[in-house]
Structure formats: structure tokens, C-alpha cells
Structure 1
Amino acid sequence: MPVSARPCVLTVAGSDSGGGAGIQADLKTFHAHGVHGTSAITAVTSQNTRAVTAVHGLPSRHIHSQLQALRDDFPIRAWKTGMLADARTIRAVAAGMAGTAADYVLDPVMISTSGASLLQASAVSALRNHLLPRATLVTPNLPEAAALSGLPLGRRGDLDRIAANLLDGGAGAVLIKGGHQRGPRVIDRLYVDGELHTFEHPRLARNGHGTGCTLAAAITANLALGLDLAAACRRAADYVHAALAGAYRPGRSTIDVLDHGAHIPPLRASRSRSGKRRP
């Protein structure tokens, strides 16, 4: 693909020193999809496949300066957020991206695979107030969906109620990831335009790290490539399944790191909806 034809995308997230999630996973995913990836780092983590041992958040002015530098030069077609850590960071990102018309994928990262907290409890309301209304799509897993909506999860129909709550909160669409559910199949549910789309894959015997980051990054790339939202989510879910099937263990723990060079399904669909775009 000629350089001039590569859409520019942006990830705003934390750095994973172990290379399996965060900024590192996002950039590898962008490259695999043939888009030009840019990044604004919100925090530097000290982590490996065993644990997150330290988190250092960047000052708001440095986050804002990264975003300003990128927006001054690159025509960002789609962007995503991952680890934002605290309310201060969330406000800085919201201010730094104000006025953009690009599609925005909000991945509400709260807990790492190793169990470390990556979002302060006090920041959930800031996330809901400042970024959720801007989102073309929000991609929570089950615990994140419950925390972000403030609704219980455990009964049949709870997912529908949680999705409705997030849509009422301003999100353009909601993709509730099914990795935390039990059963032989993983079912991701996309609520958009009054419809429910489901994406099913066989559950793999893997202890995956970075699946959520990779999925959101792949959706972002696919939106930038011109797919409509449902097609972007389906293609991204297929990619994550393939990447998880090829996962490997570079560290000494039982955590599997995705193969970001996995086969990507052919690009077929053309864009039919512009997604939600907020100033």
C-alpha cells in the first residue's frame, strides 16, 4: 500500500514494558492492518507477564503536548483510548482531542490481566462524563461494563440493560466482550442503531494478555479503512481469535501473548455509516 494511501490512526494509552498490551499491542495491530499508527502515552508501567509492579502517570501538559503535536501534522481518521489511570488524565485527553471529527473507540481499561488496578475508582465518573459521550463505540468486558454502568450483572437481560445505560450515557454503540463468560464459545455483543449483532468464536485454552487492547485497536484500524461499525467489529474479533490461537509465552509465567502477525480476514465491506462524531 502506498504511504499516501495509509490512513492515520491514534492510540492514547499506557506503555506496557512487557510488550503484550497497551501502546505496544496497539501499534503492532495497526501495522498488521496496514494503517499508520501514532501514539500518545498516558502512563509508563513497569510490568511483565507476571505482574504490574509500578505505574507512573505522565503530567497532563505532556499528554496534551503529544496530542497537539500529532494533530498538527497527521490527519487522524480514527483513534482509541486504553489505560487512562485517573480523572486528571481523562480530562487532559478530552481537552486535547476536542473538536476532532474522527471515529473514537473507548476501551475502558480498568484491571490488568495480572489483576492490577489500572483505573482509579474515582475516575469512572470522569470517564463517563468526559469521554463516553464522545465515543463512536465503547468496548467493555463484563466487569468493566458493570462498573461503568453502575448496574449489577448476573441475571438474564442484564447485558441489555447495561448496554442501554451506556447508550443513554452518550455512547454511539456498545460492544460488550464475552471473554469473561463461561461456556464453550465466546460471544461478543454489539448494540448499535437499535440492533444487536453477535460475534461467536470457539473458546480457546489460552490465558491471553492484551486481547482487549488488540480488539479495540483492530476496530479502530478497520474504521479508518472504511468499514462500517458492525463489519469493523466482526473483522477485529476474527483477527483477535486468530492472534490468540497463535499466542505464545515469552516470559516465565503462564500468560499468553498474542501473535499480532496473525492472518487478517480480507477487506471486503465498504463503509455505510459514519459512526458517532462529537465535537
Structure 2
Amino acid sequence: MDEAKALTIAGSDSSAGAGVQADLKTFSALGVYGSTVLTCVTAQNTLGVYLVEPLEPRLVEMQYKAVLEDPGFDAVKTGLLPSKPIVELVVRELKKLDKPIVVDPVYIAGTGFKLSSEEAYETLVRGLIPIATVVTPNVNEASKITGIRVETVEDAEEAARRISSLGVELVVVKGGHLKGAPVDVILHRGRMLKLRGTRVEGSFHGAGCCFSAAIAAMLAKGLKPLEAVKEAKRFIETAIAHHHKVGSGIKPVNPMARLFMEAEKWSIVENVRQAIRLLEAEPKVSRLIPEVASNLVMALSYARSPSEVVGIPGRIVKVSGGVKAVMEPVYGASRHVARTVLTAMRFDPEVRAGMNIKMDERILETCIRLGFKVSGYDRRLEPPEVKAKEGLSTSWGAEQAIKAAGGTVPDVIYHRGDWGKEPMITVLGRDAIDVVHKVLKIVEALQREPFVE
């Protein structure tokens, strides 16, 4: 069976956050071979767009015909089409196709720079949208196309109807800029649907390009338009949530995030396994195991929930002659320690692992003598709304301790307990092995002085 292939007809982004660069990353991440037809070269970065230079239509045409001849494509998407002659060329050529066409009607950059001429955009609306399978305007583009101001879901529904009347099979009015919760409005062959999303705080570069490219990739793989849009929605939410943290301006989305996370998963499990072996090889670690037992966790670099943190089901318990992990490490096996680590990662993404150990004053003093950075919080000050919801206590406490340390994540976070709550120390580090090395240092230091169980 031939490999699925997709084509992007769009501009080049020198910062690689959008345009054909983002499209190719998206195609690759979704297992689709990508080809390109460049329409223009832009000078831009995360701070803004400085120049858009359209290519000669003849060069655009020759690129397209070359790719059409070989290797070919199963679906095509269009992005930035900066001039009327280029739009007319693209319409003329794509009209000859019997393949899915995705139109991302790019008009203005997120920084406000006008990317396409007025006459080019009018030609796109009159000529390209009517032959599209899917068109993916954001609220600003939907407003430009329809002439109505799109601010609410109801406005988006009306815009979708008007765009659909141009002849396109499926319209997605993207709701990232709508007031309130982000809701994508879909009109597919007369049926109106809403896809609700999760808002990620901030502004992001390349989301529209990656979303439309993901739809094209799914269509190339044989999905129907509505299913392709739903899959692309899931894909882009991950790319936004795990955006790149580069540049001084608008952050680029990360279309490779899912691949990185999959590749990283097994290496983290192995790191925790190795760390457990180190713990089990030192019998005196049992002195540090609290009444509720211990857990050792490590998070994916992109982790946002406990399901993306490796832990030990059943925890680490005392046994005759030492300690033992009850089961093999898996994802989602910790709540409390995992939430402490997830909170620490918000302040320092390099701190991705932790282990809870017994809290008493002698152990705490030993941590300080070893030169560990130590910070604590008072569980008695926990707000009622935090106490009322399971799982919030450790996140709240970790944040208090980190803020008390000046915003720097300490090596050790502790609390002295509360009514019905055991006092606890959590040792933090870059990975599980780093955490265990710190725990073993504590054990070694305690061996040099009397210790009372």
C-alpha cells in the first residue's frame, strides 16, 4: 500500500513556527509524506512579520506541476496566498483535481501584519473556497469573509452558514478567539456541531497552519472530512498545550509534541526502574519510609496531569531487611507526589521527579546540613476550598513552599502535618535517579548519628 501523501501550498516562515515549515512537521508527526509549493518568502520571528515577498506565479506553477507529476499527493491544503495572480493560478489548477482540498484562509498574522492583498483575498473567497472540501477560518477571517462581526458562538454559527453557502462541504469557524470557552463551530452538509476545547493561557503562533495541515493529513489517510476535523482538533490541542518555549514573543505551537511524548515514555519508566533498584539495594532506606509508604515518581517533560507521571502502584513499602516496590512503575500510579512534581515543573521544568519520605526534625535537620535547599508550608493554613477537593492539597502546599523559597524549586519540601494528616518530606530532583541519590545521601548522613524509629 502506498504511503499517504499531502501537499501544502503556502508561504515560508523564517522562524519555522508557521507556514510550510509547520505544515511539514505536522505531516511527519501524523505519518504522512509532505510536499510543498512555496507561494512567498516571509521575514518573521516570534515578535512579528517584517516582509512578505511573493514568488513569481510561473515559479509557483512549476513547483505544483512537478509535485503533481511526482510524488503526487492524496490531499492538499492552502495557506498564505499573497497575490491575486497566485490565487488565480491555485484555483485554476485545483479545479482539475478530484482530491480533498483544505483551505486555511490566511489574511492577517497574529501580530497584526497584513499578509494578503485585498484583491487576492476577494479572489480566494470567490474562487477557492467554493471548491474546497474544508475551510478553516478563525473568527477574524470569518468576519472578513462574511462581513459580520464574529464575537460569540451564535455569530460563528451565522458566519459558518454564510461561508457554507459559497459551496464548501465543511466549514470550521475556529473559536480560540471567541469570548468565553473556546468552541469550534462546524457546519457539515447542513448539520451544525460544536467542538469544545480547553483554553491554554497565552498567544500561540502556527496553530491555524498546523490545524489545517492535520486535517489534510487525515484526509490523505482516508478519513472522512468530519472525522478528519475531530482528529485534527485533538492533535492541535496537544500541540498548543505543549508549545515551544522559545523566542520573546508569541510562542510557536509544537506539532511534534505527541511524537516526543511517545518516544520519552519508555525512557522515563526505565529511569524509575533503575532508581528503584538503587533504593532496594540499601536496606537502611527503610528508616525513611513513612506510615503511608513512599512513592517515587517522574513526569514526562510535557506532563500536565498525573496520568503523564510514572509512579509505583501500591507504593514502596518496608519489608524484612529493607524496602520493596510493590509493583512495576507505570503511568498514573501516583496522585499526591505526582501533583507536587507537576507544581514544581510550573516553576522549573527541569525538576521532574520526587519521592515522599518520613518527616521528623532529625531528618529535616540532616537535609539542611547536607546543603539541600529546604522550604516548607503549614497545612493548617490550607484554604477550605482546597481541603474540600481531593488532590489539591499537595499542589497548593508545593506552590506555597516554592513561593516561600523565592520562586526557586527547593530540593526538599516539607510540612508538619495537620489533623489526621501525617507530616511529610518530599525530595525533588531532575529525574528519579537524581532523587534517589539525594535520599541515599540522607540515609548515609543519618547512619553517622543515633536514629530513633
TM-score after normalising by structure 1:
0.89
Cα offset, 1:159, TM superposition? 2.1
Distance 1:80 1:20, change over 3 A: same
Runs of 4+ in 1 over 6 A off after TM superposition: none
Alpha-carbon separation, structure 1, partners of 2:130 and 2:189: 16
CA deviation after TM superposition for structure 1 residue 258, in Å: 1.3
Aligned length, in residue pairs: 259
The DSSP-based 3-state class of the residue aligned with 2:74 is strand
2:406 match: none
Does the CA-based 8 Å contact 2:5-2:74 persist in structure 1?
A: yes
The structure that has the greater radius of gyration is: 2
1:30 counterpart (23, 27, 36): 27
What's 1:217 paired with? 213
The structure with the largest helix share of the pair is 2
Change (3 A) 1:208 1:14: same
Q: Percent identity?
A: 36
Cα distance in structure 2, aligned partners of 1:156 and 1:206: 21
After superposition, the C-alpha distances for 1:180-223 in whole angstroms (9 at most, x for unaligned) are 1122x311111002212222121001321000000000000011
Deviation at 1:13, TM superposition (A): 0.2
> Unaligned 5+ residue runs, structure 2?
260-453
Instruction: Answer whether contact 1:206 1:244 (CA < 8 A) is retained.
Output: no
Look up the match of 2:89.
92
C-alpha distance after superposition, 1:227-273 (max 9, x if no partner): 1112111111111111111112322x131111211227xxxxxxxxx
TM-aligned CA distance change 1:156 to 1:242, over 3 Å: closer
Query: 2:236 is matched by which residue type in structure 1?
Result: V
Which amino acid is 1:263 matched to? R
In 2, Cα distance between equivalents of 1:38 and 1:156: 35
Report the secondary structure of 1:76's partner residue. coil
Cα distance in 2 between the residues matched to 1:18 and 1:258? 12
Q: Where in structure 1 are there 5+ consecutive unaligned residues?
A: 265-279
* Deviation for aligned residue 1:151: 2.6
Counterpart of 2:414?
A: none
2-structure distance, mates of 1:155, 1:203: 16
Whether the 8 Å contact between 1:197 and 1:230 is mirrored in structure 2 is no
Residues 1:256 and 1:154: Cα distance change in structure 2 (over 3 Å): closer
CA RMSD between the two structures:
1.5
Q: Which residue of 2 aligns with 1:249?
A: 245
2:164: which partner in 1? 167
Q: Which moved more, 1:239-248 or 1:118-127?
A: 118-127
2:184 aligned with 1:188, yes or no? Answer: yes
What residue number does 2:422 align with? Answer: none
CA distance in 2, matches of 1:77, 1:161: 31
2:8 and 2:168 map into 1 onto residues whose CA distance is 19
Match of 1:262 among 244, 257, 262: 257
Greater relative contact order (CA < 8 Å, ≥ 6 in sequence): 1
Q: Does 1:237 align with 2:233?
A: yes
**Could you tell me whether the CA contact under 8 Å between 2:173 and 2:184 is conserved in 1?**
yes
The CA distance in 2 between the partners of 1:131 and 1:79, in whole Å, is 12
Determine the C-alpha separation between the residues in 1 that align with 2:196 and 2:150.
21
Rounded Cα–Cα distance in structure 1 between residues aligned with 2:51 and 2:144: 23
Local SS of the residue matching 1:217: helix
Instruction: Name 1:19's counterpart in structure 2.
Output: 16
Q: CA deviation at 1:98?
A: 3.3
